[in-house]
């Protein structure tokens, strides 16, 4: 067994951190002093077989490699290591996925940790740091071109995401999709298959997938006519209780910010949220009510929902809450009587927030940022800090147990 073969055995079984450092030193030395001569002058040599063995050790199927991968991140700052990591990871993921009907969870976690650690430079001039030192950089080397890095990055992620992954991994991928994946892809539109599959899963996965879909629609001119219908379908009572509630309403606020949306669509969202608000907890209402008012501020055509005289009551409301298509929900024919009902809410702040529609809506929108993360505990703590308020009272002192002066109880049980 060769010396680096022994080290690769140690990375699997024994002193992993020491073995990784030793192997990476071998990679550097073999790259500077190749074991075989270049086939032609100026050829870029990188010890791919040795380095691929390192990546295979990091992407274990049986053991969590998160600590070792955190140590490996420092090597990814070098452009040549990053480029060949993407290529090696693509090969390993393809081999493991093709050999297993269901990709093991430990391997998926290791693979995601490695893939998410890869961050591409913004411009080609930033490609200048090489772990395997070269006296000169030739233009014909792929490793010196940003477009080749982007291509390898795209193949790596698409190769990983085309397989059936555990839901926990899908969530992690979708959380970083808009910031760390889509901006670096050579063809971001190729991610549409994964995002549509993720949306069809339902629940929080659908919620997270909408952000990526929105970016493809608005920044890459992707045709996705059912986007707002799918967003409308996510509005159900559970949306106020999910872990990603703040993220969902932040994104929904972004999606509904365009002034070019048709009035019937905005009215459907305002009406659906108003109906759901009747059973929502106070901490959610303190965010949803300003959200609805902001929709009315942006779209004056929808203010008929609060200014319709003699609006419909519950038993005569034309709005159809069971209709999945917002265009057929008849929301624009209805009114927001639910907000008037919430003006009698037991929580005074909710009642105050619902009463805003009784006044002329101010032009500046209410910032939702401080309200998105509001919890029931914070609302309770805020109420406790207010302290008791002195309330003037007017009463008639009792003159008997039952309040009558001359009855039997008054003679024997007179109250002082």
For 89-128, the DSSP string reads: HHHHHHHHHHH-SS--HHHHHHHHHHHHT----SSGGG--
Pseudo-torsion of CA 321, 200, 114, 10, nearest 10°?
120
**What is the per-residue burial (b if ≥16 Cβ within 10 Å, else e) of 53-81?**
bbbbbbbbeeeebeebbeebeebbebbbb
In angstroms, the Cα distances linking 191 to 110, 122, 130, 205 are 22, 20, 30, 15
Which regions in the chain score pLDDT beneath 50? 1-4, 6-7, 10, 13, 40-42, 416
Residue 72 near residue 82, CB atoms below 8 Å: no
Pseudo-torsion of CA 395, 401, 407, 409, nearest 10°?
-160
Q: What is the pTM for the complete model shown? A: 0.74
Q: How many CB atoms lie within 10 A of CB 51?
A: 24
Closest by Cα among 63, 45, 53, 48 to 20:
53
Tell me the three state secondary structure of residue 70.
Answer: helix
For the record, the structure tokens of 30 come out as 């073999």
How high is the pLDDT of residue 50?
A: 87
How high is the pLDDT of residue 4?
A: 47
How high is the pLDDT of residue 42?
A: 46
Residue 89 near residue 65, CB atoms below 8 Å: no
- Between CA 176 and CA 183, with CA 177 as vertex, the angle to 5 degrees is 110
Closest by Cα among 271, 301, 294 to 353:
294
Q: Classify residue 289 as exposed, middle or buried by CB count within 10 Å of its CB (0-12, 13-18, 19+).
A: buried
Q: For 153-203, how does the pLDDT look when each residue is reduced to its tens digit (9 = 90+)?
A: 999 999 999 988 899 999 999 999 988 999 899 888 889 889 988 988 877
Q: For 334-360, how does the pLDDT look when each residue is reduced to its tens digit (9 = 90+)?
A: 989 899 899 999 888 899 999 988 887
How high is the pLDDT of residue 248?
A: 85
Residue 306 near residue 336, CB atoms below 8 Å: yes
Question: Roughly what angle, to the nearest 10 degrees, separates helices 79-99 and 48-58?
Answer: 60
Where in the chain are the domains? Answer: 1-165, 272-416
Residue 335 near residue 238, CB atoms below 8 Å: no
- Between CA 200 and CA 5, with CA 90 as vertex, the angle to 5 degrees is 140
For the record, the structure tokens of 57 come out as 């050790």
């Amino acid at each position: 067994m060769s010396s680096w073969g022994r080290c690769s055995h140690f990375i699997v079984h024994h002193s992993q951190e020491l073995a990784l450092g030793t192997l990476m030193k071998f990679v550097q030395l073999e790259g500077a002093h190749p074991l075989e001569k270049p086939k032609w002058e100026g050829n870029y040599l990188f010890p791919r077989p040795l380095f691929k063995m390192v990546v295979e050790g990091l992407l274990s199927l049986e053991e969590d490699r998160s600590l070792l991968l955190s140590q490996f991140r420092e090597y990814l700052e070098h452009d040549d290591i990053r480029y060949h990591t993407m290529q090696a990871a693509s090969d390993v993921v393809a081999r493991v996925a093709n050999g297993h009907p269901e990709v093991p969870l430990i391997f998926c976690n290791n693979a995601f940790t490695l893939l998410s650690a890869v961050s591409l430079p913004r411009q080609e001039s930033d490609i200048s740091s090489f772990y395997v030192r070269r006296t000169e950089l030739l233009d014909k080397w792929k490793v010196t071109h940003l477009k080749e890095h982007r291509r390898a990055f795209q193949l790596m992620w698409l190769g990983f995401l085309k397989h059936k992954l555990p839901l926990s991994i899908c969530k992690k991928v979708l959380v970083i999709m808009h910031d760390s994946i889509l901006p670096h892809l050579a063809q971001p539109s190729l991610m549409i298959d994964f995002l549509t599959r993720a949306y069809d899963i339902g629940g929080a996965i659908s919620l997270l997938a909408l952000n990526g879909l929105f970016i493809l629609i608005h920044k890459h001119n992707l045709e996705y006519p059912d986007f707002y219908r799918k967003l409308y379908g996510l509005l159900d009572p559970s949306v106020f209780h999910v872990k990603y509630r703040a993220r969902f309403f932040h994104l929904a606020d972004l999606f509904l910010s365009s002034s070019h949306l048709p009035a019937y669509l905005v009215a459907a969202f305002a009406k659906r949220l108003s109906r759901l608000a009747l059973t929502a907890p106070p901490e959610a209402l303190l965010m949803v009510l300003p959200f609805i008012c902001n929709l009315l501020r942006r779209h004056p055509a929808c203010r008929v929902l609060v200014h319709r005289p003699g609006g419909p009551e519950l038993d005569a409301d034309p709005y159809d809450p069971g209709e999945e298509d917002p265009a057929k929900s008849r929301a624009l024919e209805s009114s927001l009587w639910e907000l008037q009902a919430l003006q009698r809410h037991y929580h005074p702040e909710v009642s105050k927030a619902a009463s805003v529609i009784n006044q002329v809506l101010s032009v500046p929108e209410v910032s939702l940022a401080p309200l998105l993360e509001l919890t029931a505990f914070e609302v309770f703590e805020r109420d406790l800090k207010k302290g008791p308020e002195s309330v003037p009272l007017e009463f008639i002192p009792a003159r008997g147990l039952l309040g009558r002066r001359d009855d039997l109880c008054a003679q024997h049980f007179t109250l002082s």
